[in-house]
Structure 1
Amino acid sequence: MTVLPFAPSTPEEVDFGPVDYISDCPVRIGVDILGNSWLPVIAYTLRHGPMRPGHLRTAIGGVSQKMLTQTLRRMEQLTLVERRRYAEAPPRVEYELTEAGRDLLIPILALGEWVHKHGHEVGGALAGPDLGEL
């Protein structure tokens, strides 16, 4: 397991200053982004550089063309990816993470580290009670 040098070791070490958890709170933006089931996966897949949508879909697996397109458009709107269109025949499009998108990899990797550490116990709890314990 990789320990991230930028991650705080305890929640008490994090201070965002006064934050009101209201509808337009910046923290809610982060929760919305990480709560989108495909957005973190696409960002993680783009971590090594630009990719064409077809290559992205193959690399990810399980994502429909419609969902991939919708998520890439949303990521472009949020300035997390940059779309590049090349004037070729046939036309070629690539998506690449912006600086904001690359910075988003920090919490994605931290979440991945948490899942590596606690995913088994959380997954077991989601599966329901063990019948042997009843």
Structure 2
Amino acid sequence: MRSVHEPVRHRPVEADSSARMAVDLFANSWLPVLVYLLRDGPLRHSELRAGAGGISQKMLTQTLRRMERMALVRRRRYAESPPRVEYELTEVGRDLLVPIYALGAWVDRHGSAVTTAMYGEPPD
């Protein structure tokens, strides 16, 4: 059985490799943030924008569309006046929470060491 700390063997990091796909998922800094925000259920566009803090309307729309194309989120439009649209994670998107939580745990353990190495001693 493979340990959690052993890397999964992949082909070289080529444009079509699974390792490249994993890197590309996290290269868009807003994608993991939006997945994390949607962890507890569907949210509206305005709720996602408020929760993400600092994301522009354009970037939010682009990221959500990309996530739809990747089958990470489902967009649901309700026939109401005014129209209501919600986004929710698909099963594929929910599975992406596993590495997001793991990365968060890594940051909890090592974030201050990385920050100190990059910027010097943190202010008191």
Say whether the fold is shared (TM-score over 0.5): yes
What are the Cα deviations for residues 20-77 of structure 1, in whole angstroms up to 9, with x where unaligned? 3222101111110012110000000000000000011112211111111110011001
Q: Trace 1:61-100 onto structure 2 (pairs within 5 A).
A: 61-100=53-92
Larger radius of gyration: 1
1:55 aligns with 2:47: yes
Shift of 1:15: 3.4
The residue aligned with 1:3 is: none
CA distance in 1, matches of 2:14, 2:47: 39
The residue type paired with residue 47 of structure 2 is: H
Three-state SS of the structure 2 residue aligned to 1:90 is coil
Consecutive unaligned residues of structure 1, counting only runs of 5 or more, are: 1-6
> In structure 2, what is the Cα distance between the partners aligned to 1:55 and 1:42?
11
Supply the distance in 2 between the matched residues of 1:53 and 1:38 (Cα, whole angstroms).
Answer: 14
Aligned residues: 119
Identity of aligned residues (%): 56
Correspondences of 1:38-49 after superposition (within 5 Å): 38-49=30-41
Q: 1:15 to 1:33 in 2, by over 3 A?
A: closer
Structure 2: state its 5+ residue gaps: none
Structure 2 residue 110 is matched with structure 1 residue 118: yes
Matches within 5 A, 1:21-40: 21-40=13-32
More contact order relative to length (CA 8 Å, sep ≥ 6) = 1
- Work out which of the residue numbers 8, 12, 19 in structure 2 matches 1:15: 8
**What is the RMSD computed on CA atoms of the aligned residues?**
1.5
Structure 2 counterpart of 1:49, one-letter code: G
Q: Which structure 1 residue ranges, 4+ long, deviate > 3 Å from structure 2?
A: none
In structure 2, what is the Cα distance between the partners aligned to 1:72 and 1:126? 32
Partners in 2 of 1:108 and 1:34 — Cα distance?
A: 9
